[in-house]
Structure 1
Amino acid sequence: MVLTILFLIGAGFLAGILASTAGLASLVSYPALLAVGLPPVIANVTNTTSLIFTGIGSTVSSLRELRGHWRQLTLYVSLALVGGIIGSLALILAPESSFEKIVPFLIFLAGALLISSGRRTGDTAQRIKAAKMHPKKHAIIQVASYFGILFVGAYGGYFGAGAGILILSLLSIITDDDFLVVNAMKNVIGFASNLIATIVFIFRTRIAWHFVIPMGIGLFIGGYVGPIIVRHINITILRALIALAAFGLGITLFIKAYF
């Protein structure tokens, strides 16, 4: 049991760093919970609950980047909360076998998003900013961005691997803020989505709380350290390495689910 606790703390620490730097905590934390014997849906529910801790750590560590952005962030968080409820209910109502078969493709998607998230985002953002000069186009872009955040919140409540990347890419396009601010906002939005999903899970399904605590300790520390790393690390190299790991994990889970 001691080795299991140490394993989950270590996995949580690494996942917390990935959550607050690349938005891919679940690529480490979810397989770690599978490795200690939890079935897929319970592992996913427990993982979502544990991720609350990395949200707390990364938010505290990112307060200086968030200064002056709380009003804007409140709107985005509200949309993510609604999406989180939708996604968590979808997870509970769907058969466990279907979830196990969907997960490999969600992880493949997460890896692909990570690779593409740094490409042409600037060009897309410039085109959208130019479109904002026209009132009708500006209104359409705003509505589309709100639905985008709602969708990401739902995806986070359902599974979550790659949700951070989706938020990061979306915010990079619809806001004029630099990467450090956008990354900090992403951490808060992800925290809100995980929190509301956990509240739903508490009343509707089973959470393995004895695994949440050690995983949460590691996630909190990693979540706090992550924003500090972002200020000094080469994000392009980090994204490439994590994407390769995502594809490897996706292949492993695909083989397990279908063969």
Structure 2
Amino acid sequence: MSVPEFLLLVLAGVGAGLVGTVAGLASLISYPALLATGIPPLSANVTNTVALVFNGIGAVSASRPELTGQRDRLVRLSAAGLAGGVVGAVLLLLTPSSAFEKLVPFLIAAASAAILVQRPPRELAAEGAAAQAAHPHRDHWGLVLGTFLISIYGGYFGAAAGVLMLATFLLVMGVGVPQGNALKNVVLGVANSVAALGYAFLADVDWTAVLPLAIGCLVGGRLGPGVARRVPQVLLRRLIAVAGLGLAVHLGLDAFG
């Protein structure tokens, strides 16, 4: 790997760590950067999953205030994330690389479209708080099931899995955005970690690319929770969504051209 490619992946990792913890969109930054260095799509995906483990480490280490008093909930949701990550990794390992290459443009396009139409997180949190006040004991089977299903997608590919999980947490639990983000970072970190463990032994991980991307993800993940308290999230999401749609078109032309 050349020095410019190494630096590109470090910078992409920092960007992915920041937007991953702030907006749940890490893979829409890191995955294209891996493709830009010439790594094939399937290998880029598993390499990306391994590197994003360090995003979770950085984010969780900076989110302790938001996680205080959430232990029981974290245990339930992390177990669902663990199971979902295993299922997603198995699905990816059983998917032929040619089929994955054709599927990825649709996954990215769907994720980007979901970002564009998603309501602001604070609106979701307010609606969730109202629902929680009306039904204070309606946790947690629906929440656990939703977390499990989103974690399957996270273990398989993951672009915008954080958006889906954050929206679910805000709607169902009625927590604030910082708390929802912190919970999401923990659960997706668990799903990514178990998937990454399987990929490390059974898939074609490009370890020379993991190192610079992981360094950047660790730094970006560590900085992200602080940025999440200040950044205008709606503008950030829209910019990334438009870029994601452009990437989906590009990859689609390559896959089907």
Q: What TM-score results when the alignment is normalised by the length of structure 2?
A: 0.93
Instruction: State whether residues 86 and 195 of structure 2, in contact with CA within 8 Å, keep that contact through their aligned partners in structure 1.
Output: yes
Distance 1:109 1:70 in 2: 33
Task: Select the residue among 113, 132, 137 that pairs with 2:135.
Answer: 132
Distance 1:176 1:28 in 2: 29
Instruction: State whether residues 131 and 174 of structure 2, in contact with CA within 8 Å, keep that contact through their aligned partners in structure 1.
Output: no
How far 1:221 moved relative to its partner?
0.6
Distance 2:176 2:100 in 1: 36
The runs of at least 4 aligned residues of structure 1 exceeding 6 Å deviation read: none
One-letter identity of the residue aligned with 1:151? L
Aligned pairs for 1:69-148 within 5 A: 69-118=70-119, 121=124, 125=128, 128-129=131-132, 132=135, 138=138, 142-148=140-146
One-letter identity of the residue aligned with 2:215? I
Instruction: State whether residues 22 and 227 of structure 2, in contact with CA within 8 Å, keep that contact through their aligned partners in structure 1.
Output: yes
Distance 1:174 1:236, change over 3 A: same
The alignment-based identity, stated in percent, is 39
Aligned to 2:20: 19
Is 1:38 the equivalent of 2:39?
yes
How far 1:58 moved relative to its partner?
0.7
Aligned pairs for 1:203-222 within 5 A: 203-222=201-220
Is 1:163 the equivalent of 2:169?
no
How far 1:153 moved relative to its partner?
0.9
SS in structure 1 of the partner of residue 100 of structure 2: helix
Task: Select the residue among 245, 249, 252 that pairs with 2:250.
Answer: 252
Q: CA RMSD in A?
A: 1.7
**CA offsets 1:20-52 (integer angstroms, 9 cap, x no match):** 111111111111111111111111000000000
Distance 1:195 1:78 in 2: 12
Distance 1:66 1:122 in 2: 17
How far 1:130 moved relative to its partner?
6.7
Instruction: State whether residues 111 and 246 of structure 1, in contact with CA within 8 Å, keep that contact through their aligned partners in structure 2.
Output: yes
**CA offsets 1:121-151 (integer angstroms, 9 cap, x no match):** 3575367437636x8xx3xx73222211001
SS in structure 1 of the partner of residue 140 of structure 2: helix
How far 1:59 moved relative to its partner?
0.6
Aligned to 2:147: 149
Equivalences, count:
254
Q: Which runs of 5+ in 1 are unaligned?
A: none
One-letter identity of the residue aligned with 1:176? G
Instruction: State whether residues 128 and 175 of structure 2, in contact with CA within 8 Å, keep that contact through their aligned partners in structure 1.
Output: no
Distance 1:28 1:176, change over 3 A: same
Aligned to 2:196: 198
Task: Select the residue among 181, 184, 187 that pairs with 2:179.
Answer: 181
Instruction: State whether residues 16 and 25 of structure 2, in contact with CA within 8 Å, keep that contact through their aligned partners in structure 1.
Output: yes
Task: Select the residue among 221, 232, 235 that pairs with 2:230.
Answer: 232
Instruction: State whether residues 55 and 220 of structure 2, in contact with CA within 8 Å, keep that contact through their aligned partners in structure 1.
Output: yes
Distance 1:155 1:76 in 2: 15
Aligned pairs for 1:58-73 within 5 A: 58-73=59-74
Distance 1:63 1:142 in 2: 23
How far 1:241 moved relative to its partner?
1.3
Instruction: State whether residues 109 and 162 of structure 1, in contact with CA within 8 Å, keep that contact through their aligned partners in structure 2.
Output: no
Between 1:163-172 and 1:110-119, the stretch displaced more is: 110-119
Between 1:99-108 and 1:81-90, the stretch displaced more is: 99-108
Q: What TM-score results when the alignment is normalised by the length of structure 1?
A: 0.92
How far 1:60 moved relative to its partner?
0.8
How far 1:108 moved relative to its partner?
1.3
Q: Which runs of 5+ in 2 are unaligned?
A: none
